[in-house]
Structure 1
Amino acid sequence: MASAIGITDNGVKYHLNRMQKNGIMQRIGPDKGGY
């Protein structure tokens, strides 16, 4: 995903975490094996 949009791996993690905190995305299932 990072190479497709031209940012670092940490940049992807940062934005995914922000989206989860803002309620845009949410994790489904346990930390291991969820999606």
Structure 2
Amino acid sequence: MAKKKLLYVQTSGVNTPQRLYSPFILAQTALAMDV
């Protein structure tokens, strides 16, 4: 199977630390779904 790449662009920063984990969760979900 060919490797696929996804790019997550995050527009929040240190002012909203509660959202900083989201790219990691999205990447793990995509990996689990074999996207």
**TM-score scaled by length of structure 1:** 0.45
Q: Greater helix share, 1 or 2?
A: 1
Pick 1 or 2: higher relative contact order, CA cutoff 8 A, min separation 6.
2
Question: Could you say which structure has the larger radius of gyration?
Answer: 2
